[in-house]
């Protein structure tokens, strides 16, 4: 069994993205019963989704877990829905700030993610790490790549569970900001995402 886990490069005013650092840690780990392929996606309107589709095609995964940063959140946030909307609050790393446009003009209004979201949340909480379910992945690149991933899988008729998980700031990110926000240690995030993968493995073995 093989899982694909993706993160994003830093964006905005930050030189750090926790999702990139988690992915880099996962790439060095051994999981025994399953393989983990990783990719870091550009924060770019077209190259981000293209990079994800390429990674899916090349790795042929049994499930896909995309990671991204949600500064200000205090818990691991497992998203339920990706909406067909581009409405960037800030520009991407190429300076594009798209607003009020559909991702796929002929696509459905939204896709539900296909991960066992409540089971994943409860598994993370059982390790003592705060986790929550979140309705929507927003309207920036995190939402866009999730929508485009689910649309791609639907178009290709691939029954691959897929979804998105938002991560809090790292402590060093908050230390550089003018006000305090919640943060979470990298090791804790890696444990949470590893728990997601182990839980997915058990879920897929019996499904």
Active site residue 142: yes
Residue tagged active-site, from 20, 66, 142, 148: 142
The predicted pLDDT at position 154 comes to: 97
Residue 79 bridge partners (DSSP): 134
The predicted pLDDT at position 206 comes to: 84
8's enclosing H/E stretch is strand 2-8
Residue tagged active-site, from 166, 187, 202, 203: 166
Q: How many domains does the chain have?
A: 1
Report the 10 Å Cβ neighbour count for 118.
11
Residue numbers of the chain with a pLDDT score lower than 50: none
**34/41 Cα distance (integer angstroms):** 23
Place of tokens 């060095």: 28
Please give the distance of CA 74 from its chain centroid, rounded to a whole number: 16
The predicted pLDDT at position 179 comes to: 87
The predicted pLDDT at position 146 comes to: 98
The predicted pLDDT at position 76 comes to: 99
Active site residue 66: no
Mean of the per-residue pLDDT values of the chain:
97
Tokens for 104?
Answer: 């796929």
201's enclosing H/E stretch is helix 186-206
Instruction: Evaluate whether 142 touches 68 at the Cβ level (below 8 Å).
Output: yes
Active site residue 79: yes
147's enclosing H/E stretch is helix 141-155
94 burial level (CB within 10 Å; 0-12, 13-18, 19+) = exposed
Residue tagged active-site, from 44, 79, 148, 151: 79
The predicted pLDDT at position 178 comes to: 86
Place of tokens 């051994």: 30
**50/91 Cα distance (integer angstroms):** 18
Segments forming the whole domain that contains residue 39:
2-206
Instruction: Evaluate whether 21 touches 69 at the Cβ level (below 8 Å).
Output: no
127: alpha, beta or left? (left if phi > 0; alpha if psi -120 to 50): alpha
Place of tokens 């609050």: 89
**31/23 Cα distance (integer angstroms):** 14
CATH of the domain at 140: 3.40.630.20
């Amino acid at each position: 069994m093989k899982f694909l886990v993706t993160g994003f490069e830093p964006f905005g005013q930050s030189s750090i993205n926790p999702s990139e650092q988690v992915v880099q840690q996962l790439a060095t780990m051994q999981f025994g019963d399953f393989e983990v392929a990783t990719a870091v996606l550009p924060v770019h309107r077209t190259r981000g989704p293209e990079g994800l589709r390429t990674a899916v095609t090349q790795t042929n995964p049994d499930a896909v877990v995309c990671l991204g940063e949600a500064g200000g959140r205090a818990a691991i946030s497992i998203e339920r829905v990706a909406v067909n909307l581009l409405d960037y609050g800030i520009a991407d790393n190429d300076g594009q700030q798209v607003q009020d446009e559909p991702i796929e003009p002929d696509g459905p209004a939204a896709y539900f993610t296909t991960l066992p979201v409540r089971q994943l949340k409860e598994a993370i909480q059982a390790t003592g790490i705060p986790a929550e379910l979140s309705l929507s992945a927003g309207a920036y690149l995190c939402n866009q790549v999730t929508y485009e991933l689910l649309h791609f899988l639907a178009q290709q008729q691939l029954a691959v569970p897929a979804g998105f998980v938002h991560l809090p700031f790292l402590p060093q990110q908050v230390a550089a900001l003018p006000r305090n926000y919640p943060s979470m240690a990298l090791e804790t995030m890696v444990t949470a995402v590893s728990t997601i993968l182990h839980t997915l493995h058990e879920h897929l073995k019996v499904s």
